[in-house]
Every structure is written in C-alpha cells, then in structure tokens.
Structure 1
C-alpha cells in the first residue's frame, strides 16, 4: 500500500446528521486535532444547503450519487446530482482522485454504536480495522466489499481508499455527547493509523478479530397495495449486531401476525429500523460474522 498524502474528512453528507457537522466546525477552529505530519488534511462540509433546511437531502440522497455512470451523466440535474459532480471535481475525479483517503462521517438512528464501514478487505483495511478495535473496545467493523470501490456510489468511493464512520443511535437533527465523542475518537484512531502506516511505525496488532460482512438488505412487509403491513419485531429492535437465526421472529404485522426469518445462515442485523430508510421501505441490513486475519 502506497503512502497516503492527502486526506479529506467529510461531514454533512446528510444535512440532518449533526455529529460530523459540529465536529468539522470544531476542527476548523482547531485544525491541529486532525493534522498529522505525514499527510495533509482538509475538511469538507458536503451538503450545507440540506443542513440549512434541516433535511437529509433536497432532491436525492447525496451518498448514492457517486457511481461512475451518474457522475458522467450531465443530464442528471437534481441538486445532489450536481453537487456530487462538484464534490467529485474537488476531491476526485473518481478513478484518478487527487485525494488519497476519504473519511465520511455519518449518524444513524439505529443502535449500531461506533461502527467502521470498510469498502475493501485488502491488507491496509484489515489492519486498520484491527488498529481501531485495539484502541477502541466498543468499535464494530463492517466490510462492505461486495462491490469494488469503482462500483460503490458513496462519497468515500471517490478516492482509492476511504471509509464510512457510522455512529448511533442518534435521532435526526439532534446532538448526543456520547455519539459525538465516539465519532471524534474513531476519527482520531483512523488518522493515527494512517500516520503510523506512512511512517512505517505500526505497532503489533491483533492477528485476527471478529467483524461483519454485509450480505443483504431486507424490506418492511408490504400489502397488495404496496403499503406497509408491518414493523420490525420488538425482539429485533435495537439489537444491532445480535444473531438472528432461522425461525426467529423478525417482523410483526399490524394484524398481530409474526413473520419469521428464513435463512440458511446466522444473520447479524444492523441499520435496524433506520429512520432515513423508510422512504425506500428498508427494514435493516444483514451481515455474517467473520474472522479477519491481519497477516
């Protein structure tokens, strides 16, 4: 893995996820907190207009606009579609980015704790996960390497390397100290890891650790009219990263009936009942537990 020379910390990709926005403001006043000797750091307030209007987005989810085809399609003229092209020029362009590493800061309404989402499972990312978990006992590492970086449509996929810091539970348009503190701590550890990587000073890391690998996304139950017919089961609610076995209840229909998980693997739900996903009727993501080797 080559030396990382330029890092961008992005907040406000969603305008009503406040922790990253307020941390950016704090770091802009005290840039030494996110500065390191071996690389340059910039902060980017991605969607200030959505924040001004206290919305996740104005026209479309900004964190779904960075697919290569969409970035190259200038007939897409919605606000976030145009904003994505501007950010791509500022940080990218994707595929040949001037930014080596992007940290994208997010809040979730789900009970995910401090979660580090990695888009690749190469040695650099595997060791980053180990370093963060060694330094932060509460941290959860999730691999979303089911697609290549080029195929992903997240802000953090502009650069060759990038991560998503996802911290919850926090309601939209609210600040919680425990959540903000977790986000600040995880960001510090990521920056420290990059510095140690660049200076070839990484300490001994755990040889292996538990993590999660994304498998699929489940939708809320719908009736024949396409209207919601049920909700996340109370046994699953707030139980992010707890095991879900074949035959366990997963949804309760509004008529009182229960729907059971039918799967051939033990699933670990996360993003459970995420408020922002209701516009797409998404109930949760599922993952498998894996053991990650760092050597």
Structure 2
C-alpha cells in the first residue's frame, strides 16, 4: 500500500493571509500538535518577505510560479520566482518530491467557510475528501482543475507527490479572525488524522458519495471600452459562495442601476465572490459545477 512518510504544512505563500502563518508558528512552537506516529511533519513559512512588507507578494504571485517549465527557467529571477525555486529544492523537486503530501494554507476575503481544494484526482484524494467531509460536515470540497496533470499546475501544493489547499474565509487581508483560524486548524487536524489512519490501513467506513464542486471558469466585473469598472457584484450574490445561480438570476448591478443577468444555460455555483486579491485582474467570481466524488 502507498504510504505517506513526509508531510509539509506550508503557510504564508501570500504575505497578507495571516491564518496560515500563525498556524505554522503555533505548530513550530508546539510540534506535537501536528505530529503523528506514521509520518514526519515539516512546517514551512513560504514568503516571510511579503509578510514583512504586509503585501500579498513583492513582485509576482508566489502561488503561480510552480509550473515545471517556470521552475526550470533561469531567466525568471524576481523575488517570488526565485523563492519558488528555493522551495522546490527544499520540498520537491516537483515530479520526484521528497514530500509525500503538501498542505498549503490560505485565506480568502470571500465567504467560503472552510474549503478543501484538490488539484488532482485519484483514490487517495477521494478518500481524504470523504473523511474530511464526514468529520466536518460544513466543509466544502473543491476539485478545482483536477483534470490537469500536476506539471501543468502553477500552484505550490503540486510540489508534493500529493498536494491540497486549505482555503478558509471570510477574513480581511492582514487580519486574524479566531473563528477562521479555528476552522483552518480543525481541517488540518482532520487531514493529519486521515493520513495516519490511511497509513495504518485503518480508515473507518467512509461515505460512498461526497458532494464536491469543480471549477468551470471565472468571470470579470463589468467594464467599459476604456477598461474602467462600471458595476459591482449584485447584492443577492454577495457572500453567497457555493449557493446556486440560476439562468436569468442577477449577478451584477451597474452603477446606473441596471441589473446584469446570468446568461448561462445551467445552474452554477459561485466562489471567490468579490475576492479582494483578484481585483487587480477585475475578477468578480469563479463559477463551479456540482459533482459527486464516488469511492470504489
């Protein structure tokens, strides 16, 4: 049976997402909290320079630097691009990593609750999703773009042989909230417990079907020809992450009062609604479809 021998818990990929940073600091102060008998746990603070500057990043988004082609490109040398290569050497190398499972901790300003984001498919991920959802019923399981091979993903968690993101919100940038930190810690503990039971071939009976969401595409805020914003997320959508949007529902309100309706043909489920970090790209939200994870 496949065994997980080395786990890495990474916080602070984005310097203004504080829950992961402070959870890693807590684990470093009390390592027994993330220790289990069947594997070794390493804790990593990914981007301390961005934290010191109180920014998401200094030059480029660190969590978009981990495609194989970019890690191998010597011309990519800004701070985060260089930092990605250091982390790849420390935790990877990607494709032949010494890290069996990388747990990457993130906050969102959106009202998403506690989300386990899977970037790959397979029995290990499916069992983890079922275990976490069984023990944390309010958790959201996201399959993101799990149809892409790991080498095509730019996310840091794909450095590991397995990798997941724990995304928790709502939390403003550069702020700590106890409820959000508690949710993050609870989900991480469930993941660590799952790995321990998985390694020991002692998992409990898991649900055969687990509800999840798969990313479809993102949509932008309303813009004019000059690239200026002319509207905002509709009040009926705001803070309703993972709640259905039906064809014909309003999704934006223009500043002149006009409502913009969703023109898709199928029900979708929005997330990262009005995420502050995505305003530089004018992204309004990501749209998802509901899927079912089935265990064999």
Alpha-carbon shift at residue 146 of structure 1 (Å):
3.4
1:231-256 residue CA offsets vs partner (Å, 9 max, x unmatched): 11111000000000111111111121
1:89 partner SS: helix
1:188-246 residue CA offsets vs partner (Å, 9 max, x unmatched): 00011111111100000111121111111111111000111111111100000000011
Alignment of 1:7-26 (within 5 A): 7-26=7-26
2:252 partner SS: strand
Alignment of 1:35-74 (within 5 A): 35-74=35-74
> Does 2:164 match 1:156?
no
TM-score by length of 2: 0.98
**Which residue matches 1:113?**
113
User: How many residues are aligned here?
Assistant: 295
> Are 2:121 and 2:147, in contact at CA under 8 Å, matched by a contact in 1?
no
> Are 2:92 and 2:98, in contact at CA under 8 Å, matched by a contact in 1?
yes
1:269 partner SS: strand
In 1, the alpha carbon distance for the partners of 2:161 and 2:247 equals: 38
Runs of 4+ in structure 1 displaced over 4 angstroms?
none
In 1, the alpha carbon distance for the partners of 2:100 and 2:293 equals: 24
In 1, the alpha carbon distance for the partners of 2:36 and 2:162 equals: 18
> Does 2:114 match 1:89?
no
In 1, the alpha carbon distance for the partners of 2:18 and 2:38 equals: 29
> Are 1:112 and 1:169, in contact at CA under 8 Å, matched by a contact in 2?
yes
TM-score by length of 1: 0.98
In 2, the alpha carbon distance for the partners of 1:181 and 1:46 equals: 21
Structure 1: where are the runs of 5+ without partners?
A: none
> Does 2:124 match 1:124?
yes
CA RMSD of aligned residues (A): 0.9
In 2, the alpha carbon distance for the partners of 1:219 and 1:121 equals: 28
**Which residue matches 1:182?**
183
**Which residue matches 2:268?**
267
In 2, the alpha carbon distance for the partners of 1:278 and 1:182 equals: 26
In 1, the alpha carbon distance for the partners of 2:266 and 2:192 equals: 35
**Which residue matches 2:34?**
34
In 2, the alpha carbon distance for the partners of 1:97 and 1:268 equals: 34
Alpha-carbon shift at residue 46 of structure 1 (Å):
0.1
**Which residue matches 1:193?**
194
Alpha-carbon shift at residue 14 of structure 1 (Å):
0.3
> Are 1:149 and 1:160, in contact at CA under 8 Å, matched by a contact in 2?
no
1:23-80 residue CA offsets vs partner (Å, 9 max, x unmatched): 1111111100101111110000000010011110000110001011111111111110
